[in-house]
Structure 1
């Protein structure tokens, strides 16, 4: 396996073109979380959006402390508050372990590349990994479109209310009446931007691991097919040359292939 297990250097946009996690990495990059690679401007944008999330968190605390509505109002406030809180925790964990995430991506790509090479020339096995890749793309694209649609509906719904209502999209504040300009406008922008940032990151960090598991399952399925194929090609009781004169797998070849399968299984389970 042509891969350094200690490799943790940042990924690049060019690298993601051949990665099985391509779409998740690029989505997280466009959300200003995953640097490909990072620049000072990129880091500044990340810090800016994290600050917006903290502001949203503060507004959520104010809303919960001053809320006097019914259970529905509390449910909405708490659900949004939990999304922001969990998202900030995930972002913090990622930023603290960014190199480990890069290491994980390179490791998975190396495993997939090695398995593709081992499955070369065997049609059924060659189809397993591309099928997993298509499924991964559908998952990433589907979640992105679905959540963008939900965010658009939710964040623009208050605009349909009468202007004097001064309804914020998620957390309501006690000082957003008509005389509180520009507090209402700033709070609306803060909640909208931070929700898009933290909401999509929340989903796509989970999607990142989901796709990694899809690829890992495909690796195990491909390995299982290799072992089954090895059993079928057992030549202990067959001649070493078939009717067309082609050499069949010898006992030594089978042993080598079996050792390779064991090593591959160890790498996958270690991952």
Structure 2
């Protein structure tokens, strides 16, 4: 039985038999991994604390006939501040659900997706306000979709392909991007969009994760109005965009609605 080591973040788990669990992880080297953590429900288990949802571990696994087996785990980061705050925890679980929904086994982009996910959890943990959290998750969703081949078009109209001009236009979640005023009536369903929202989305795509703190956003351009209202609207646009591309209904958006 060949053994291997990788860094992985726990996404969810299922009960298996009396003392075991099936773990679903996203790993840096292999993408989605489904494996068995034996004896994890026993009080004496050394794995139980490491296998909590959202923990990032260095895991040692043995190849099994159907599912691999977790032999050992060393905690890399438990993102402990997330577990102290219901808002942080809810948004972090939402990100984990997106990874679980769209992630693939043996994914060629697993390293990039893992790094984006890890840094997102780190920044949610360090966030000092709801605005910080929203900004971080907006960035996560845009970058995840880009890695998956579902990049949002923010520069050119998805209908006529002309560059967007002016300060007021529209967004088509179904078509995957911005729509100019001339093409709006030709699209089935669109949402209002203005230059503030576009700028938020563009900045979220291009800014580096270490500069994520909301306190720094307003210095990017003194003409941009960034507040919880505009961030909420940006978040909801992307939520609809993503739900259309998912083959199953996501559960955590309903929990997020309860926070509002």
Is the helix fraction higher in 1 or 2?
A: 1
The one of the two structures with greater contact order (alpha-carbon pairs below 8 A, sep at least 6) is 1
User: What TM-score, normalized to structure 1?
Assistant: 0.25
User: What TM-score, normalized to structure 2?
Assistant: 0.26
- Which protein is bigger by CA-based radius of gyration? 1
Is the strand fraction higher in 1 or 2?
A: 2
